[in-house]
Amino acid sequence: MNYAPTTRLEDRLAPDEPPYRSRGEAQVGRLFDRYRIPFTYERPTPVYDRGRHRWWHPDFTLPTYGNLIVEYAGMMDIPGYAAGIRHKRKAYAANRRPAFFVYPRHLTGPAWPQRLVSRIQRYAARYGARGAGGPRYRWRQPYLSYR
Taking domain 23-126, whether its CATH number is 3.40.960.10 is answered by yes
On whether the CB atoms of residues 99 and 68 are closer than 8 A, the answer is: yes
100, 68 Cβ separation under 8 angstroms: yes
Query: Left (φ > 0), alpha (ψ -120 to 50) or beta: where does 55 sit?
Result: beta
Q: Is the dihedral of CA 117, 128, 56, 91 positive or negative?
A: negative
**Of the given ranges (62-66, 104-108, 140-144), which has the lowest mean pLDDT?**
140-144
User: Can you give the C-alpha Rg of the chain in angstroms?
Assistant: 17
- Average the pLDDT over 14-28 and give the result: 78
The mean pLDDT value for 69-94 works out to 91
Q: What are phi and psi of 42, to 5 degrees?
A: 55, 45
Q: What ranges do the domains of the chain cover?
A: 23-126
Determine the average pLDDT of the residues in 9-17.
56
Q: How far apart are CA 47 and CA 70, in angstroms?
A: 15
Q: How much is the pTM?
A: 0.74
Q: What average pLDDT score do residues 102-109 get?
A: 92
Per mean pLDDT, which range of 33-37, 51-55, 136-140 is the poorest?
A: 136-140
**Which H/E stretch holds residue 89?**
helix 79-94
Q: Where are the beta strands (DSSP E) in the chain?
A: 40-41, 45-49, 52-56, 60-62, 68-72, 99-102
Mean pLDDT value of segment 22-37: 91
